[in-house]
């Protein structure tokens, strides 16, 4: 157990350092939003100052359709990062996720690096555990410990098969994963959000997740931070499963394609995460029908560079960009924005994808 504690702590620190300092995207891989053109309105017929970016998600009203996605925890420096970002999220009234709490279950001494609600009481916090752990040795006891110890308002169960495949210490036994996920949905006292981490999801899986009781889905599409590439960068003196320039690293469903088809085929809230680096991309995701967009890497980079002020500046600008696009297409609310799919024109790869999948 001691060795596992040390490995987890080292891994979490490595993850953040690589995310901040290295190119963890994949060359020639995009999240697909450039393949969707917006049809604007030349006469918006609304007052910009009356536009509202408020949105309701899981029974709570937020000031903007933005989720700061779970990133870190489990090593000493993570406490400062998580608390600092949490203060900004509470101030701006947007939800926040934390990194995988497996480290906390293995080593209770790291709980404080996740438990930001001790410092930031009114934050909407999304906890985080990996589904593969429930295929191995986690059960209801560990799940409820993760929820209760951080006072989670919702729980993200992340699915990350490609990341695990590329990780030096990867867990590859996903047998009975669907059964475990359904059990979690049944006994959880908080809403369950299924979260991909960079490979995206097809609508077939999203529909199945809705049927078994998941409250929301974060489609975590490809085209942003590649956790598979990041894990390959951690191999030290070993033969990694793939080279860093292997074409297989483009694996997955681009965020835009996954968002579009999930919103057409399912009715539960969709969170569009994966390379959502600016508010124009976010606006397109909302037009597809997504409830929230998730951002992670730019937020932690802003914090490391300029602290809480940097995070607040980034998120305010992001929200204002969404609002500007809303003005240009003449909609005054996020609810109305989510009905504007017909004003998105898919072209090239997007059109080919959606036609083949019988979405359009």
26 belongs to a structural domain = no
The mean per-residue pLDDT over the stretch 82-104 comes to: 97
Residue 148 lies in a domain: yes
- Give ∠ CA 213-218-221 in degrees, rounded to 5: 135
Alpha-carbon 37 to chain mean position: 24
67 in any annotated domain: yes
Q: DSSP alpha helices (H): ranges in the chain?
A: 2-21, 76-92, 102-106, 131-134, 140-150, 161-166, 177-187, 203-211, 227-232, 255-265, 279-288, 297-328, 334-337, 349-356
Mean pLDDT score across all residues of the chain: 92
pLDDT band at 1 (very low <50, low <70, confident <90, very high): very low
Q: Which residues pair with 125 in a beta bridge?
A: 96
Per-residue pLDDT of 50-62, as tens digits, reads 999 999 999 999 9
Report the predicted TM-score, pTM, of the whole model to 2 decimal places: 0.94
Percent of all residues in the chain with a pLDDT value above 70, rounded to a whole number:
93
The answer to the question of residue 85 being in a domain is yes
Higher pLDDT, residue 124 or 20 = 124
pLDDT at 2 over 50: no
182 found inside a domain: yes
Residue 12, domain member (yes or no): yes
Whether 168 has a pLDDT exceeding 80, the answer reads yes
Q: Which residue reads 């990041």 in tokens? A: 230
Residue 226: the pLDDT is: 81
Spatial distance between the Cα atoms of 261 and 269, rounded to a whole number of angstroms: 13
Amino acid 20: pLDDT: 56
Region 134-148: mean pLDDT is: 97
| Number of domains observed in the structure of the chain | 1
CATH number at residue 235: 3.20.20.70
Q: Of 98, 149, 90, 92, which Cα lies nearest the Cα of 126? A: 98
- Spatial distance between the Cα atoms of 16 and 20, rounded to a whole number of angstroms: 6
pLDDT band at residue 8, thresholds of 50, 70 and 90? low
Q: Each residue of 256-274: pLDDT tens digit?
A: 999 999 999 999 999 999 9
Give the domain range for residue 250. 2-20+36-356
pLDDT for residue 9 is more than 80: no
Residue 195 in contact with residue 159, Cβ under 8 Å? yes
Choice between 279 and 24, residue whose per-residue pLDDT is larger: 279
How many whole angstroms separate alpha carbon 57 and alpha carbon 348?
33
The more confidently predicted of residues 242 and 229 is: 242
The reply to whether 30 falls in a domain is no
Give the percent of the chain with pLDDT over 90. Answer: 81
């Amino acid at each position: 157990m001691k060795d596992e504690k040390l490995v987890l702590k080292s891994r979490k620190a490595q993850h953040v350092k690589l995310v901040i300092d290295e190119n963890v995207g994949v060359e020639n891989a995009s999240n697909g939003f450039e393949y969707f053109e917006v049809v604007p309105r030349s006469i918006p017929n609304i007052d910009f100052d009356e536009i509202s970016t408020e949105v309701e998600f899981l029974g709570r009203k937020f000031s903007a359709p933005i989720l700061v996605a779970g990133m870190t925890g489990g090593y000493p420096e993570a406490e400062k990062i998580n608390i600092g970002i949490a203060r900004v999220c509470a101030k701006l009234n947007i939800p926040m996720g934390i990194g995988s709490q497996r480290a906390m279950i293995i080593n209770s001494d790291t709980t404080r690096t996740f438990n930001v609600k001790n410092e930031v009481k009114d934050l909407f916090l999304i906890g985080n555990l990996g589904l593969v752990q429930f295929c191995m040795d986690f059960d209801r006891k560990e799940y409820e410990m993760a929820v209760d110890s951080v006072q989670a308002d919702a729980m993200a169960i992340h699915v990350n098969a490609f990341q695990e495949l590329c990780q030096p210490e990867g867990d590859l036994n996903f047998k009975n994963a669907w059964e475990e996920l359904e059990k979690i949905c049944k006994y959880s006292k908080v809403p369950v959000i299924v979260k991909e981490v960079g490979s995206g999801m097809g609508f077939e899986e999203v529909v199945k997740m809705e049927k078994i009781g998941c409250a929301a889905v974060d489609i975590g599409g490809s085209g942003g931070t590649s956790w598979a590439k990041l894990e390959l960068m951690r191999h030290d003196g070993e033969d990694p499963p793939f080279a860093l320039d292997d074409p297989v690293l483009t694996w997955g469903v681009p965020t835009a394609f996954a968002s579009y088809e999930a919103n057409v085929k399912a009715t539960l809230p969709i969170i569009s995460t994966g390379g959502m680096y600016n508010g124009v991309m976010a606006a397109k995701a909302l037009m597809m029908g997504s409830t929230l967009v998730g951002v992670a890497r730019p937020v932690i980079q802003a914090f490391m560079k300029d602290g809480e002020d940097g995070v607040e500046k980034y998120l305010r600008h992001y929200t204002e960009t969404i609002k500007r696009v809303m003005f240009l297409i003449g909609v005054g609310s996020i609810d109305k924005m989510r009905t504007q799919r017909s004003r998105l024109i898919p072209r090239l790869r997007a059109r080919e994808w959606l036609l083949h999948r019988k979405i359009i």
